[in-house]
Amino acid sequence: MSILVMKFGGTSVGSIDRIHRAAKRVSAEVAKGHNVIVIVSAMSGKTNELVGWVSETSPLYDAREYDAVVSSGENVTAGLMALRLQEMDIPARSWQGWQVPVKTTSAHASARIEEIPSDNILAKFDEGMRVAVVAGFQGISPEGRITTLGRGGSDTTAVAFAAAFDAVRCDIYTDVDGVYTTDPRICDKARKLDRIAFEEMLELASLGAKVLQTRSVELAMRYKVKLRVLSSFEEQSDDAGTLVCDEEEIMESNVVAGVAYSRDEAKMTLISVADRPGIAAAIFGPLAEAGVNVDMIVQNISEDGRTDMTFSCPTDQVMRAEKAMNEAKAKGEINFHDLVADKGVAKVSVVGIGMRSHAGVAAQMFEALRDEGINIKVITTSEIKISVLIDRKYMELAVQALHDTFGLDKAS
Q: Is 139 annotated as a binding residue?
A: no
Query: Would you say 210 is a known binding-site residue?
Result: yes
CA 171 to chain centroid, in Å, comes to 16
| Residue 315 assigned as binding residue | no
- Give start and end residues of each alpha helix (H) in 132-278: 153-164, 198-206, 214-223
Cα of first residue to Cα of last residue in the chain, in angstroms, is: 37
Residue 67 marked in a binding site: no
Handedness of CA 395, 388, 350, 265 (dihedral sign): negative
Distance of alpha carbon 101 from alpha carbon 124, whole angstroms: 14
Annotated binding-site residue? 150 = no
Q: Is 189 annotated as contributing to ligand binding?
A: no
Residue partners of 152: CB distance under 8 A and separation at least 6: 213, 215, 216
Q: Is 405 annotated as a binding residue?
A: no
Vertex 231: Cα angle to 228 and 237 (nearest 5)? 70
Least Cα distance to 294 among 202, 390, 380 occurs for 380
Answer yes or no: is 174 a known binding residue. yes
Contact (Cβ atoms closer than 8 angstroms) between residue 54 and residue 69:
yes
Q: Is 354 annotated as a binding residue?
A: no
CB 84 within 8 Å of CB 20: yes
Burial label for 154, CB within 10 Å (0-12, 13-18, 19+), is: buried
Distance in angstroms (rounded) separating the CA atoms of residues 231 and 208: 20
211 is in an annotated binding site: yes
- Is 9 annotated among the ligand-binding residues? yes
Q: Which residues of 196-221 are buried (b: 16+ CB within 10 A; e: fewer)?
A: bbbbbbbbbbbbbbebbbbbbbbbbb
Instruction: Point out the annotated binding site for substrate.
Output: 47, 74
Instruction: Point out the annotated binding site.
Output: 7-10, 47, 74, 174-175, 180, 185, 210-211
Instruction: Point out the annotated binding site for ATP.
Output: 7-10, 174-175, 180, 185, 210-211
